[in-house]
């Protein structure tokens, strides 16, 4: 499969800012991947995401050079109307992206804006509600929902537009641990069922390493590390760039250092991997 997202030599500087928010950025993401973008706060993650769905340069001015290509067309040359149908964007705070008084109306919001005929809209709204398993909330008002439910409603509104690429900006930051891990399971399921590509900004890597194909680490507006989560997290540099190393990986690293590398084999990322490694040694 081809690359759904290609960033080529991207530089962006906000107006009146002394330095670039994103510098010399190169990235290719093949269709159907789950890619995680990590890095310290203020490292340019949010800016980078906004260059992908076109808010930069269409809504925000600034110095822009290089190119971002989504599904074969340049973001600079595409209208927000076209981009909205290719790139879905789930913002950090679900509250501020729910506009309507009932869940189903809100899921339909993007489709209404595009002028989709009613019958088709109805079936796409129902499909999105079913995918996120929130059909029972269809008639609820936004203020009657929990944070996790709001997050699902907002994601349903994004998916109803059938984007090829979905961006999730710190989707678990307002969720409790259980709801957060449910969201990650959901993302993995949607990738399987729809073949959607996901780019996720996330600090809590513990949750995502099990499902992610690629981990990109940013620092100071630049890409500093890229690879499979295993390669990046077992490298020596990840910690230096402020990446939260998953607990399992830390345990393994500590064991390896204390016992001269004979403790447990392979790069371990998730509790289940650790469990089976330990079981294997016991036998």
Partner 1 sequence: MMWLSGGFIFRKGYSFYHRLDPRAKLLNSALMFVTTLLARSIFEMVLVVAFMVGLSAAATVLKRVARTMAFTALFSGFIFVVNVLFTRDLETSVLYATRFVAIVVSTSIFFITTSPDELEQVMKMFRLPRDVVFAFVTAVRFIPVMMLDTIQIMDAQKSRGLELEKGNLVRRVRNMIPILIPLVVNSVVRSGELAEAMEARAYGAAPKPTSLLEYRARRVDIGVACASVVLFALAAYSFYFVIPVQFP
Residues that bind partner 1 (CB under 8 A): 50, 53-55, 58-59, 79-81, 84-85, 87-89, 91, 93, 95-102, 104-105, 108-118, 121-122, 125, 142-143, 157-158, 161
Nearer to partner 1, 85 or 256 (CB): 85
As a whole number of angstroms, the distance between CA 71 and CA 5 comes to: 6
Residue 119 in tokens: 């019958």
Task: Name the minimum Å distance from CB 58 to partner 1.
Answer: 7
Task: Name the minimum Å distance from CB 140 to partner 1.
Answer: 10
Nearer to partner 1, 11 or 102 (CB): 102
As a whole number of angstroms, the distance between CA 187 and CA 201 comes to: 13
Q: Is 72 exposed, middle or buried (0-12, 13-18, 19+ CB in 10 A)?
A: exposed
Task: Name the minimum Å distance from CB 116 to partner 1.
Answer: 6
Packing angle, helices 103-114 and 118-131, rounded to 10: 130
Nearer to partner 1, 53 or 172 (CB): 53
Nearer to partner 1, 102 or 179 (CB): 102
Nearer to partner 1, 2 or 115 (CB): 115
Residue 194 in tokens: 């729809």
Task: Name the minimum Å distance from CB 156 to partner 1.
Answer: 12
Nearer to partner 1, 95 or 226 (CB): 95
As a whole number of angstroms, the distance between CA 4 and CA 28 comes to: 8
Task: Name the minimum Å distance from CB 100 to partner 1.
Answer: 7
Task: Name the minimum Å distance from CB 80 to partner 1.
Answer: 6
Q: Is 213 exposed, middle or buried (0-12, 13-18, 19+ CB in 10 A)?
A: middle
Residues 6+ apart with CB under 8 A from 78: 54, 70, 86
Task: Name the minimum Å distance from CB 141 to partner 1.
Answer: 8
Query: C-alpha distances in angstroms, 217 versus 30, 161, 238?
Result: 17, 29, 8
Which of 116, 99, 115 has the alpha carbon at shortest distance from 157?
A: 99
Residues facing residue 233 across a β-bridge: none
Query: Is 50 within 8 Å of 58 (Cβ atoms)?
Result: no
Nearer to partner 1, 78 or 249 (CB): 78
Nearer to partner 1, 81 or 281 (CB): 81
Q: Is 257 exposed, middle or buried (0-12, 13-18, 19+ CB in 10 A)?
A: exposed
Query: Is 30 within 8 Å of 196 (Cβ atoms)?
Result: no
């Amino acid at each position: 499969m081809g690359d759904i997202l290609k960033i080529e030599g991207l530089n962006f500087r906000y107006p009146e800012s002394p330095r670039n928010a994103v510098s010399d950025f190169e990235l290719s993401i093949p269709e159907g991947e789950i890619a995680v973008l990590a890095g310290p706060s203020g490292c340019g993650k949010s800016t980078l995401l906004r260059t992908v769905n076109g808010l930069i340069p269409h809504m925000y001015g600034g110095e822009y050079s290089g190119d971002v290509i989504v599904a074969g067309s340049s973001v600079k040359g595409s209208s927000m109307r076209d981009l909205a149908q290719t790139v879905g964007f789930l913002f950090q705070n679900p509250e501020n992206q729910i506009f309507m008084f009932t869940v189903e109306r809100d899921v339909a919001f993007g489709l209404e804006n595009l002028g989709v005929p009613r019958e088709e809209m109805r079936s796409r709204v129902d499909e999105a509600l079913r995918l996120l398993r929130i059909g029972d909330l269809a008639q609820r008002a936004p203020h009657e929902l929990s944070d996790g439910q709001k997050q699902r409603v907002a994601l349903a509104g994004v998916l109803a537009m059938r984007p090829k690429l979905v961006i999730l900006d710190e989707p678990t930051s307002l969720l409790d641990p259980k709801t957060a891990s449910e969201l990650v399971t959901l993302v993995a399921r949607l990738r399987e069922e729809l073949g959607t590509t996901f780019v996720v900004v996330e600090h809590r890597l513990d949750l995502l390493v099990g499902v992610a194909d690629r981990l990109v680490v940013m620092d100071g507006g630049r890409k500093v590390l890229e690879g499979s989560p295993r390669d990046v997290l077992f490298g020596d540099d990840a910690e230096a760039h402020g990446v939260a190393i998953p607990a399992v990986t830390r345990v393994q690293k500590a064991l390896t250092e204390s016992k001269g590398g004979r403790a447990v084999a392979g790069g371990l990322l998730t509790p289940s991997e650790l469990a089976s490694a330990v079981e294997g040694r016991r036998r």
